[in-house]
Chain A
Amino acid sequence: MDKIIVTVDGQKVSVESNTTILEAARKTNVNIPTLCYHPDQNIKGSCRICIVEVEGQNSFSAACCTPIREGMKIKTNTMKVREARKMIMKLILANHNSECISCKRNGNCELQTLCEELNIEENDLDKFTNLLPIDQSNPSIVRDQSKCIKCGRCIEACDEIQGVGAIYTVNRGHEMRIAPAYEKNLCDVQCVYCGQCINVCPVGAIYEKDNIEEVWRALEDSNKHVVVQIAPAVRVALGEAFGMKPGSIVTGKIVSFLRKIGFDSVFDTNFTADLTIIEEGNELLHRIQNNGKLPMLTSCSPGWIRYIEFFYPELLGHLSTCKSPQQMFGALIKSYHAQKTDINPSDIIVVSIMPCTAKKTEAKREEMQDNGYQDVDIVITTRELAKMIKESRIRIEELDEEGFDDPFGISTGAGAVFGATGGVMEAALRTVYEVVTGNELEKIDFENLRGISGFKEANVPVGELNINVAVTNGLKNAKILLDLIKEGKADYHFIEIMCCPGGCIGGGGQPIPSTNEIKEKRIEAIYKVDLLSELRKSHLNPVVKTLYEEFLQQPLGEKSHQLLHTHYTDRSKE
């Protein structure tokens, strides 16, 4: 690539010819402010906060979308630039509900930070904030348009990354809003509740439905036995909310905190991830051996389940009937665990801590009730856990690390890797290989199934069988595979599909920011948890073994069918 020399605030810098002013300035340690810009998204150029002066030009140039030219003299910090940025910010603020104190994103808001950085003082412009009703129509996602600054990032996440298109711009000019078609509520359109829109929103215009109070209330109720489970992706992300480096593993601190605030049992979703592998692995073998519907598709990601129910109902037969680890956990607590501890299931409250907003809706699905009890009662996200920690005033940084309670605190590294894209597949292969061949799998790290890439595949010889597998994450990537299946061109036995880019570590309930760079760190941490595990194959989990001996009897057996498997609904007409 040709190099071009430009001047930024008097400092010469040599950059590649396809560089933008924004990137060139960063090379000179000048951090031009941005708002609609997001490192993982297309450049939008719409907020105009990043304007700079270019010598010889009467108008400003937006730094994010203006490519540099040879000899360009860029000025980023003149009186004119500073005043113009302030004016643009004031125009944004005049149409923004600035109730920061009670805002979900207070303290973690790009607009708020930028106001401080731009030294915004009193805004003397007329206020035009449009206090439209807040959309709280569903169990997962809340939309407050009075906060929206129309950057368009949520649209890109929904439409271009996920291929769902539940929200788009409506109207034009100052009446332009971002909303579902015909300004319906989210529950009335085909939204999968993945929450990817939340993760890219710079402000508090979209956020998770808050269930924190329900948890506190449950903990206060002495008549209730309150059990908690933590998903694999939570432990490698929570630390970010407390200023720790992305990829910090805080499992022990979370356990310690949860015990401190009064949970009766602190368990691990990794355990039911192991259990899922046993059930799902056996289901796969059953399908292969009995001419069942192939490829089989994983079923642990509830956003993905909604997607296939909305858009590809004709392929529902390919979905594994296994419930997700969250739901298996709830079902076991209110049956097996209730029996063993002699507690009435109606006195048990199951709380989940998930990286995911769609899990909140999954828990409320009608079919997720066994013996008349809802499997999971309350779902909170990683972000909500962080808020609870702050609210409790307990300094998580100082907490000692503690271990999970028995019996459902025992898990293997295979359960842990569920949190990253490719993890379910890797865990399944580790088990399927050994179950089928009876031999020990020596090389258990399936490196080619790891990483953030949107499509991965592998061919794994399992005895006489050559198992073809594929792994995808992000629903737009999933769509490609689904279309291949429809055309009969997907020559796979098993496909892992995760709704969110990167898998659960990139879920819609994770700490913000949640950029690709951060997600990669979380993935590294997930595999570190795996590597540090004593056991790394689900079928070696001793508690899983006991569970089958004492209660379930056999994989795909009657009890499993009743408690651990489910069915799906064609929602294409909804």
Chain B
Amino acid sequence: MKSFVSKLCGKIKPLSLKEYRDNGGFSGFEKALIHMSPEEIVSLIKDSNLKGRGGASFPTGLKWQLVAAEIATEKYVICNADEGEPGTFKDKVLLEGCPMQIIEGMLVAAYAVGASKGYIYIRGEYPKSIDMFKKATNILKTEGYLGEHILGQDFNFDIEVRSGAGAYVCGEETALIESIEGNTGRARFKPPYPPNYGLWGRPTLVNNVETLANIPLILSVGADEFKKYGTAASSGTKLISASGNIVNKGVFEVEFGVSLRDIIYDICGGIENENELKFIQIGGSSGACLPEKLLDLKLDFDEFNKHAIGLGSGAILAVDKTCCILDFVKMNTEFFIHESCGKCTSCREGNRHILKAVERITNGYGTDRDIEIIKNIAKIMKESSLCGLGQAAPTAILTTLEYFYDEYKEHVEGYCSTGVCELKGEAIKHG
């Protein structure tokens, strides 16, 4: 466990500017604003090798550079706090533990890319966070950290707090932008990307909460010091939301490079009730289901890429052997049926065909053809959906088909080894 990006959470009063400042708060921003040019800041963030913590792990410095390079009368910085990925609750810790750190990150970003208006888009299910940000921005306005001529300099920046209405897809940056604009939360096709054409058609930087929380620290300690944490490909630390059948559930800050096994068995105290682990789902409902044998994988973007896995938001759901894979996939698919926005064919229509076939299998009426249907539709969704939601929705299906194919097969043959599924159909006779 490390204590870096979350080091002030729980240690200071979240809305106390004095305590935040006494602990080094705003020193990074002051340094940036008074002693550094926007170009220097962008190159510092690039040097730090910071990658986005929201799920896509896009290099943060490069994103900033793209927005900074745009010429426009208005640019925007948006903090994506629509933490909707099931099993993910790490941003909440930062939002409620140290809101000023996130705002400081936004201030640095705004100065670096040339934005004068910011939005923080907080999921509607986090009323406390929303309340806290409203208070924090008011305090900082009064204290001269937000508004016009910030710290007496020629820099203006203001932040508006916006709340989502519960749609998972609004965590996708273009759907989030649509939602801020007052439209239905539906993703835009890309390109153009938000750095070129974002909120109200203007260049827009969208960063995750945890990404922005890292910014003040990078400015304070410098890129080299920051890179001492983690691995060559993945600098810094990562907040992990751990849940499921483990002893210690919660948010943990770990250094990149730690193995999944260490996270599960060391940090999280192993599997509860002395049960055995069946798989972990990493990155939330849109993440891959990895069997026990892959636990030696290191938390590292490159290593994950080699296995075509995304780290996602850093959620880890541990599932023990009492769980039936098909039952799990069914629940996972129901989530995406509920959250698909309906815009593109593959995602709108695909999920329910998968669910229907899975239900046939769990009810004992499934055939090999159903496994085929599930596989084919999952593939078409992944490869042809318009946005990340539809592309990632079938990840659990595709990975369980890869690692737990036998369990699909046994159901079709009339048998559920975990005893979860009541197979009523004709398939039983084969069992």
Q: What residues make up the interface of A, taking CB atoms closer than 8 Å to B?
A: 43, 45-49, 51, 58-60, 62, 65-67, 84, 87-88, 91-92, 94-95, 124-126, 128, 150, 169, 171-176
Report the nearest B residue to A49, measured CB to CB.
Answer: B345
Q: Name the CB-closest residue of B to A149.
A: B345
CB distance from A38 to the nearest CB of B (A): 15
Query: Would B380 and A84 count as touching, CB distance under 8 A?
Result: yes
B349 touches A92 (CB 8 A): yes
Asked if B38 is an interface residue, CB under 8 A from chain A, the answer is no
Q: Are B351 and A173 in contact (CB under 8 A)?
A: yes
Partner of A47, one of B191, B344, B351: B344
Q: Which residues of chain A come closer than 8 Å to B380, judged between CB atoms?
A: 84, 87-88, 91
Q: B44 near A: Cβ within 8 Å?
A: no
User: Do B352 and A174 have beta carbons less than 8 Å apart?
Assistant: yes
Q: Mark B307-346, 1 if CB is under 8 A from A, else 0.
A: 0000000000000000000000000000001111111111
Instruction: Find out whether the CB atom of B342 lies under 8 angstroms from the CB atom of A150.
Output: yes
B window 181-231: CB within 8 A of A = 184, 189, 191
Given contacts A95-B349, A175-B342, A176-B341, 4 further A-B contacts (CB under 8 A): A128-B349, A150-B348, A173-B339, A176-B343
State the interface size on chain B (CB cutoff 8 A): 33
Given A88-B346, A175-B342, also A94-B384 (CB < 8 A): no
Question: Is B284 at the interface (CB under 8 A from chain A)?
Answer: no
What are 25 residue pairs bridging A and B, where the CB atoms are less than 8 Å apart in the complex?
A46-B343, A46-B344, A46-B345, A46-B386, A48-B344, A49-B345, A51-B384, A59-B384, A59-B391, A62-B384, A87-B376, A87-B377, A88-B380, A94-B349, A126-B353, A126-B356, A150-B345, A169-B184, A169-B342, A172-B339, A172-B340, A173-B338, A173-B339, A173-B340, A173-B348
- Which residues of chain A are near B376, meaning CB under 8 Å? 87
Q: Are A48 and B385 in contact, with the CB atoms below 8 A?
A: yes
Task: Name, among A58, A126, A128, the residue most crowded by chain B CB atoms within 10 Å (CB to CB).
Answer: A126
A172 / chain B contacts, CB cutoff of 8 Å: 167, 184, 339-342
Which residues of chain B from 339 to 372 have a CB within 8 Å of any chain A CB? Answer: 339-346, 348-353, 356-357, 369
Within the assembled complex, what's the spacing in Å between the Cα atoms of A169 and B340? 14
Residues in chain B near residue A46, CB distance under 8 A:
343-345, 386
Report whether B383 and A84 are in contact in the complex, using a CB–CB cutoff of 8 Å. yes
- Which 4 A-B pairs have CB atoms at the shortest separation, nearest pair first? A176-B342, A45-B189, A91-B349, A173-B340
B373 near A: Cβ within 8 Å? yes
B382 at interface (Cβ–Cβ under 8 A)? yes
Closest residue of chain B to A128 (Cβ to Cβ) is B352
A62 to B384, CA, bound (A): 8
- What's the dominant secondary structure at chain A's contact region? loop
Q: Is the CB of A48 within 8 A of B191?
A: no
Cβ of B338: which chain A residues have Cβ within 8 Å of it? 173
With the chains together, A47 CA to B356 CA distance in Å? Answer: 22
CB distance from A68 to the nearest CB of B (A): 11
* A45, B386: Cβ atoms closer than 8 Å: yes
Contact assessment for B353 and A91 in the assembled complex, using a CB-CB cutoff below 8 Å: yes
The answer to whether A173 and B342 touch across the interface, beta carbons within 8 angstroms, is yes
* Least distance between A333 CB and chain B CB atoms (Å): 49
Partner of A58, one of B340, B369, B383, B385: B383
Nearest residue in B to A88 (C-beta to C-beta)? Answer: B345
> In this complex, what residue of B is CB-closest to A45?
B189
**Which residue of the partner chain B has the closest CB to A61?**
B384
A59 vs B342: C-alpha distance when bound (angstroms)? 20
Identify which of B337, B348, B351, B377 gathers the most chain A CB atoms within 10 Å of its CB: B348
Residues in A with CB closer than 8 Å to B341 are 172-173, 176
Contact between A48 and B346 (Cβ–Cβ < 8 Å)?
yes
* Residues of chain A within 8 A of B339, CB atoms compared: 172-173
Contacts of B345 in A (CB 8 A): 46-49, 88, 91-92, 150
Most buried by A among B189, B345, B384, B386: B345
Chain B min CB distance to A62 (Å): 7
Q: Kindly report which residue of chain B lies nearest to residue A89, judged by CB atoms.
A: B345
Chain B residues numbered 375-396 whose CB sits less than 8 Å from any CB in chain A:
376-377, 380, 382-386, 391
- Complex CA–CA separation, A173 to B343 (angstroms): 8
Measured between beta carbons, the chain A residues less than 8 angstroms from B337 are: 173-174
Residue of B nearest to A35 (CB): B345
Contact of A88 among B340, B352, B369, B384 (CB under 8 A): B384
B383 touches A171 (CB 8 A): no
A48 with B386: CB separation less than 8 A: yes
Which residues of chain A are near B343, meaning CB under 8 Å? 46, 176
Chain A residues whose C-beta falls within 8 Å of the C-beta of B348 in the assembled complex: 150, 173-174, 176
Bound together, the chains give a CA A65 to CA B174 distance in angstroms of: 15
- The answer on a CB contact under 8 Å between B353 and A125 is yes
Question: Using a CB-CB cutoff of 8 Å, which residues 62-108 of chain B contact chain A?
Answer: none
**Alpha-carbon separation in the docked complex, A475 to B154 (Å):** 46
Name A177's closest neighbour in chain B (CB-CB).
Answer: B342
Name the residue of chain B whose CB is nearest to the CB of A53.
B383
Residues of A close to B340: CB separation below 8 A: 172-174
Q: How far is the CB of B359 from chain A (nearest CB, A)?
A: 10
Distance in angstroms between the alpha carbons of A60 and B189 in the assembled complex: 13
**CB-based contact A174/B377 at 8 Å:** no
Closest residue to B352 on the A side, CB-wise? A174
CB distance from A47 to the nearest CB of B (A): 5
A171 to B345, CA, bound (A): 15
Contact across chains for B383 and A125 when beta carbons are under 8 A apart: no
In Å, the complex CA distance between A416 and B124 comes to 59
What is the CB-to-nearest-CB distance from B203 to chain A, in angstroms, rounded to a whole number? Answer: 17
A91→B350 contact, CB < 8 A: yes
Q: How far is the CB of B29 from chain A (nearest CB, A)?
A: 37
Is A59's CB under 8 angstroms from B382's CB?
A: yes
What CA separation (Å) do A48 and B189 show in the bound complex? 11
Residue of A nearest to B357 (CB): A126
Rounded to whole Å, the gap between the CB of A282 and the closest CB of chain B is 48
Q: How far is the CA of A560 from the CA of B376 in the complex (A)?
A: 70
Please measure, in the bound complex, the distance between the C-alpha atom of A126 and the C-alpha atom of B337, giving whole angstroms: 16
Which B residues are in CB contact (< 8 Å) with A43? 189
CB-CB under 8 A from B383, the residues of chain A are 58-60, 84
Residues of B within 8 A of A94 (CB): 349, 353
What distance in Å separates the Cβ of A65 from its nearest Cβ neighbour in chain B? 4
**What separation, in Å, do the CA atoms of A168 and B273 have in the docked complex?**
52
Residues of A within 8 A of B391 (CB): 59
Cβ–Cβ < 8 Å partners of A66 in chain B:
191
Q: Which chain B residues lie closer than 8 Å to A91 at the CB level?
A: 345-346, 349-350, 353, 377, 380
